[in-house]
Structure formats: structure tokens, C-alpha cells
Amino acid sequence: MMASSDDSTIPSHTKAWFYSEHGNPGDVLKIHPNWPIPELKEDQVLIKVVAASLNPVDNKRITDFYKDIYTPDPHLPIVPGLDVAGIVVKLGDQVKKFKVGDEVYGDINEDGIQNLKILGTLSEYTIAEERLLAHKPPNLSFVEAASFPAAVETAYEGLERADFSAGKSILVLGGAGGVGTQVIQLAKHVCGASRIAATSSTGKLEFLRKLGVDFPIDYTKENFEELSEKFDLVYDTVGQTERALKGVKEGGKVVTIVPPGVPPAIFFVLTSKGSILDKLRPFFESGKVKPVLDPLTPVPFSQVIDALSYIQTAKATGKVVVYPIP
């Protein structure tokens, strides 16, 4: 027996974006008016999606970018989307952390881009294991909350893998992107970095300064690896690992989230954990770590394809969030 406020109001189908073959999002993404909602497993919750953020990985899945490395979509058709903020409407038998009506957020795919759910977050309803979710901080809107999970969890895991700690310096490659903006804030406010540098295009340098960067680097005019200053950690969010290895101090580390990575750089794919969001909640509630939303946000549900095309240009600042979900 599944617990809910009123099972008669729980839908069996949902409106969702989906694709049946790989290709350009504009060619293969369609809206399905009645996508079937799977039965809840005992550790899962059904979420009424209020907002969903887009990630570069969404485009890479749809275009089959990972085909030579992973098989992210073994079952087609599929509904894409990782990040969600919404309201719990139904509980599995063993769920203890949440109750119906709770406002939650999280990255619903535990294993990065493998073992992906067939029902993602670009949908009116989605399903996630309770361990992947956290209670939404009351000071965050659904749009703001949806922008956090995959980006901030990735930022946190990379800093943790590199043993980054107070008094160390860091260079963030791609500082204005979804992950980069969170790496900067966590390095500053959570880890206590002594000095933060970050790369961006010319027009985003002042944005980086306001975010807490001591040394913004215009990648259109300077090669960071040729600078005399070296860093304890270079966090590569853009796929420049070989160059990044030239930017570290002796004994320093490089972390990258872009495959395949080049040893001795530390390459990893996020393992989603609601516990990371719980751990960082005081920083969200105090406003020390802020959501960073691209000016395009919020994107109407009907304009998902245009938003994905925009993300492919790599011009986004922070996160693009879809809202409201109909």
C-alpha cells in the first residue's frame, strides 16, 4: 500500500518531453501528452515537478555524445532531465525522510550518466529514491532550488576528491558555468580558500569578481598555463585537462569532470546524494552560497528545445531552469 493524501488524485500518466532516437534536440525531442508513470518502488517518492534545470549532459545524452564511453540510454524512448524541485505527492512503503506535501529537490540519477531513469525531470511528474533528495530550503524558490543539485553536488564532490581545504589556492576553468560558479562559492565559503582564480570570456570577468574570484582570467587574451602563478588545485569544468596540469604547483592536483581526463588528473562522474544538499543547507539558508541563474531563466516548458540549443553554445552564465512545468 502506497501512502498519499488522496490516491484518486494521483495521475497514472504525465505530460513530458521525450526522444525515441538520438540526434539534434530540435529534430528528435517531442512532447508526449500521456507518458506512463511507473509504479513506485518502496524507497521512492512521486514528485509533482515545479521546476527543472537543464544541464550540458542533457544535450550530450540526446545527441549520443557518450556512445563510445557509456551507454546512457539503453532503453528508448526516454524522458531526459536530472535536476528537479517539486512537491511530494506519493510515498513508497519504506520512505521515512519525507511526507506527502513536502517541498523537495535533487538530482534524480544516482550514477551520473549511467543507469538513467526512463522518466526524467522534463515532465509534470517524476520519481526518485529518497536518498537522492533533500528538503527544499524555505528561502529558495523552486526555480532557485532546481538550479542547485547536479551542479553543486559535482562541485562539492570534486573539491572533496582533491582534499581541498582552508588556506589552499584554486583555479577554476569555466568559472561562469553551472558547476564553475558553485566551485567558486564552495571553495570560498565552505572550504576557506586562500586565493581563487577563474577563467571566463571578457564579458563575464566582473561577474566572477562579484562571485568572489580574486583573479579573473580572460581566456580570450591569456593562457592560464603560461602564468607565473600556480595553484594547489585546478578544477577543470571545460575539458582542458592537459593544459590544467601545467597550472598546478608541485604537489598540486587537477580535478576534471570532462571525459576522458588525462592522468594524473582526477576524473570523476558525480554520484548524486541528497546528503550533500543537506550538508550544504546552512550555506544556502544564510545566502553565502547562492543560486546562479542565467538571464534566460525561467524558460517556459514549451521552449525546452530553444533552451537546450542555447546551452550548446556554452554562453550560459550559471543555470538555465524550466518553469513552470505545466
Q: Is residue 46 part of a domain?
A: yes
User: Are 49 and 124 spatial neighbours (Cβ–Cβ below 8 Å)?
Assistant: yes
pLDDT tens digit string along 262-300? 899 999 999 999 999 999 999 999 999 999 999 999 999
Domain boundary residue among 227, 246, 265? Answer: 265
Query: Do residues 185 and 288 make contact, with C-beta atoms less than 8 angstroms apart?
Result: yes
Q: Say what the pLDDT of residue 2 is.
A: 44
Least Cα distance to 244 among 254, 252, 229 occurs for 254
Q: What would the grid cell of residue 244 be?
A: 590544467
In a domain, 325, yes or no: no
Q: What is the model's pLDDT at position 8?
A: 59
pLDDT higher for 131 or 2? Answer: 131
pLDDT in tens, 10-29: 899 999 999 999 999 999 99
Report pLDDT for 68.
81
How much is the average pLDDT of 93-102?
98
95/201 same-domain check = no
Are 118 and 9 members of one domain?
yes
Q: Are residues 176 and 125 in the same domain?
A: no
The reported pLDDT for the residue numbered 7 is 63
Residue 277, in any domain of the structure: no
pLDDT tens per residue across span 128-174: 999 999 999 999 999 999 999 999 999 999 999 999 999 999 999 99
Edge to edge, the sheet with strand 248-256 lists: 215-218, 195-200, 169-173, 231-236, 248-256, 266-267
One domain, residues 162 and 188: yes
Location of C-alpha cell 550518466: 113
Domain edge (last residue) among 247, 265, 283: 265
Specify the 3-state DSSP secondary structure of 85.
strand
Angle at 105 between CA 136 and CA 33, to 5 degrees: 130
Domain that holds residue 229: 152-265
In percent, how much of the chain has pLDDT > 70? Answer: 97
Same domain, 167 and 226: yes
Give the three cell numbers for residue 31: 512532447
pLDDT of res. 115: 80
Buried-exposed string 222-261: b where 16+ CB fall within 10 A, e elsewhere = eebbeeeebbbbbbbbbbbbebbbebbeeebbbbbbbbeb
Number of domains in the chain: 2
Whether 33 and 108 share a structural domain = yes
pLDDT band at 3 (very low <50, low <70, confident <90, very high): very low
Same domain, 236 and 159: yes
Q: Which three cell numbers stand for residue 173?
A: 576553468
With contact defined as beta carbons under 8 Å apart, do 205 and 232 qualify?
A: no
Summarised one tens digit per residue, pLDDT across range 27-54 is 999 999 999 999 999 999 999 999 999 9
- Closest by CA to 291, choosing from 119, 83, 132, 80, is 83
Residue 140 lies in a domain: no
Q: Considering the domain boundaries, does residue 310 fall inside one?
A: yes
For residues 240-268, give the mean pLDDT: 96
pLDDT for position 184: 98
In a domain, 326, yes or no: no
DSSP letter at 40? P
pLDDT value at 1 more than 70:
no
Q: Which of 224, 249, 265 is the last residue of a domain?
A: 265
- For residue 224, give the nearest of 249, 198, 196 by alpha carbon: 198
Task: Kindly report the CATH number assigned to the domain that includes residue 210.
Answer: 3.40.50.720
CATH of residue 315:
3.90.180.10
